């Protein structure tokens, strides 16, 4: 594996999810504290729901899950929470699915390339610095400034092939 590629590979069949969830929560708390912002109970709950599997979750599915434990959660509340988590670099939005997934490396600013399994829905996050640099270089050549880069690639994971 080249040094320039960071992979957050989610394999639910061979994965200690309890350890993964605990690490993600610790990192989210650290990121919020570093930013001087609160990791409120609602933000924590939404974050935990997003990390409950390594599959993308739609906002309205989060809303339905929140309704079980919260009194009448409103869509704007969920969207504001997702916006906060995304701005803090704790989650990514997958535009092709209109869904969100926890970030595998929240403590580090990076762009993302996502491999989305069409069969089981599991997502692997990659961060190829060479690919990101190539996109930035080519964008500059045409006078374009990249503010955000998310590449989504659909196919079949190792288990589903």
d(CA 46, CA 59): 10
Instruction: Choose the CATH number for 5-155 among 1.10.10.10, 1.10.3720.10, 2.40.30.20, 1.20.1560.10.
Output: 1.10.10.10
pLDDT, tens digit, 9 for 90 and up, residues 72-81: 888 999 999 9
Cβ partners under 8 Å of residue 129, min gap 6: 4, 5
The answer to whether the beta carbons of residues 102 and 114 sit under 8 Å apart is no
Q: Please, which pLDDT band fits residue 54 given cuts at 50, 70 and 90? A: confident
Question: What is the pLDDT at residue 108?
Answer: 67
Tokens in use for 123? Answer: 């997502």
Question: What is the pLDDT at residue 53?
Answer: 79
d(CA 11, CA 17): 10
Q: Is the predicted pLDDT of residue 118 greater than 70, yes or no?
A: yes
The answer to whether the beta carbons of residues 121 and 55 sit under 8 Å apart is yes
Going from N- to C-terminal start, the domains of the chain cover 5-155
Q: Is the predicted pLDDT of residue 51 greater than 70, yes or no?
A: yes
């Amino acid at each position: 594996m080249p040094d320039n590629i960071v992979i957050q590979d989610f394999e639910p069949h061979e994965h200690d999810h309890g350890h993964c969830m605990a690490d993600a929560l610790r990192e989210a708390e650290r990121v919020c504290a570093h930013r001087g912002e609160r990791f409120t109970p609602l933000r924590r709950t939404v974050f935990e729901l997003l990390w409950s599997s390594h599959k993308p979750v739609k906002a309205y599915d989060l809303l339905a899950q929140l309704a079980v434990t919260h009194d009448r959660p409103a869509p704007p509340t969920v969207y504001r929470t997702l916006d906060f988590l995304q701005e803090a670099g704790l989650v990514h939005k997958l535009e092709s699915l209109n869904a969100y997934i926890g970030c595998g490396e929240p403590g580090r600013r990076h762009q993302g390339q996502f491999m989305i399994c069409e069969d089981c829905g599991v997502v692997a996050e990659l961060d190829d610095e060479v690919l990101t640099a190539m996109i930035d270089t080519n964008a500059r050549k045409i006078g374009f400034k990249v503010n955000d880069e998310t590449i989504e690639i659909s196919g079949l994971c190792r288990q589903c092939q």
